[in-house]
Amino acid sequence: MGALRRKNTHDVQIVTLANKNTERDGLNVKVHQRKHFLNDDAGLFLKVKSLVIWL
């Protein structure tokens, strides 16, 4: 469970950075790695939001 919580925290950090235009370019690689199950940043935000509810 500890590993799952760390992964969720990592996702939340990515969303936080994605909302900052100055940090966005640095996230291109990380976001690209998640494209196989996320359509866009909005999808990532909704996924994290649903995960946070369960924490």
Which is nearest to 42 in space by CA: 23, 20, 25, 18?
A: 18
Q: What single letter denotes the amino acid at residue 27?
A: L
What is the identity of the amino acid at 40? D
Cβ 43 vs Cβ 51: under 8 Å: no
What's the CA gap between 8 and 54, in Å, rounded? 10
Spatial distance between the Cα atoms of 17 and 2, rounded to a whole number of angstroms: 23
Domain ranges of the chain: 2-54
Mean pLDDT per block of 10 residues along the chain (55 residues) reads: 55 59 56 55 69 63
Q: CA-to-CA distance for 15 and 24, rounded, in angstroms? A: 10
pLDDT recorded at residue 41: 63
